[in-house]
Amino acid sequence: MPTINWNQGTINFSDEGRGTAVLLLHGFCESMMVWDDWKEDLLEENYRVIALDLPGFGGSDAKATSIAQMGQAVMAVCEHLGLKKGICVGHSMGGYVALEVAAAQPAWLIGLGLFHSHPFADDEDQAKARQKSIDFIERNGHVHYVKQLIPRLFAQRTGTSASFRRDMLILRASRSGSAAIVTAIKAMARRMDHSKTLKRFGRPVLFINGARDPIYTTRQRQDQLALAAVSDVHILERTGHMGMIEEKQTTQRAVRQFVRFCEEW
């Protein structure tokens, strides 16, 4: 797997296919492997698919203490590959990182995808919940934390049918270590609000949301829709936070159609 040197460490990435570049950013406690089966649809459509392990996760041992720094790591990979234009699709925390890219390099993007994500900063209650997570990890370790976190990301109806993928997510997240997970939690708690970024973006934005998502409120999912000038909205009525697993074909189709729209827009 190719890597680049960045911030006294390395960033692990993959680069496959040709055509319009689609950059996939994974979520919290995940790695780029979450896209392994899912991205095949884009490759079959002759798109260039780039994925990477965000700092501290998967095979990336570089350090990033903020979401903005994670965005810098993403752009470092893009610069290394010589990418001039592309579409960035971010899942959960990866959506926060995608918004940092949109804020710092808006001309680079021809489209932006928020996959179970949103542009808003944490409110007081969410910040307190993050601190509780940190306290739990410090008392009990990160393995117990991810064993509790990941199963609840799935809607109840898919929890059993997706048990293998769920267990693999737990195993991979356990390898990240307490320090990386706590650093990412702190980074998410301190991230800036990107409502204005989304409002100024001016290019197509894809929203994929799960109606049964336990992470984001209904209001957050709804309020962001009014910010984008051009939007493509998909509400997955029976899905939680892991649409690429829970509704693989539906989300593949949504992203595929969005990429085509961005190419023609």
| Mean pLDDT along residues 48-69 | 97
Q: Which pLDDT score, from 0 to 100, does residue 117 have?
A: 98
Look up residue 245 and give its two tokens: 């697993």
Residue type, 49: V
Each residue's pLDDT tens digit, 81-91: 999 999 999 99
Per-residue pLDDT, 193: 98
Residue 181 resides in a domain: no
> What pLDDT was estimated at residue 223?
94
In-domain check, residue 185: no
What is the arithmetic mean of pLDDT over 72-76? 98
Residue 117 counted as domain residue: yes
In a domain, 134, yes or no: no
Segment 181-223, tens digit of pLDDT: 999 999 999 999 999 999 999 999 999 999 999 998 888 999 9
Element (H, E) at 157: helix 156-159
Q: Is residue 19 part of a domain?
A: yes
Cα torsion 179, 60, 10, 91: sign: negative
- Output the pLDDT for position 182: 98
Measured CA to CA, the distance from residue 14 to residue 52 in angstroms comes to: 6
Q: Taking the complete model, does pTM exceed 0.85, yes or no?
A: yes
Domain that holds residue 216: 3-121+192-264
Residue 158 reports pLDDT greater than 60: no
Distances, alpha carbon 186 to alpha carbons 31, 41, 92, 137, 190, in Å: 18, 34, 15, 13, 6
Token pair 């997510």 is found at 169
Residue 131's identity, in one-letter code, is Q
| d(C-alpha 35, C-alpha 92), whole Å | 13
Closest CA to 45 of 14, 20, 24: 20
Cα–Cα distances in Å, from 210 out to 21, 45, 206, 216, 245? 26, 25, 13, 9, 12
pLDDT, one tens digit per residue, over 99-108 is 999 999 999 9
Region 118-127: mean pLDDT is: 95
Q: Please tell me the predicted confidence (pLDDT) of residue 160.
A: 60
CATH number, domain of 11, equals 3.40.50.1820
For 160-186, the pLDDT digits (tens) are 657 888 999 999 999 999 999 999 999
Contacts with 217 (C-beta within 8 Å, 6 or more apart), sequence order:
none
Residue 212 falls inside a structural domain: yes
Q: Domain count of the chain?
A: 1
Is 215 among the domain residues? yes
What percent of the chain has a predicted confidence (pLDDT) above 90?
92
Whether the pLDDT of residue 157 is over 80: the answer is no
Stronger pLDDT, 119 or 216, i.e. the higher one: 119
Could you tell me if residue 144 is inside a domain? no
CB 188 within 8 A of CB 224: no
Is 260 in a helix, a strand, or coil? helix
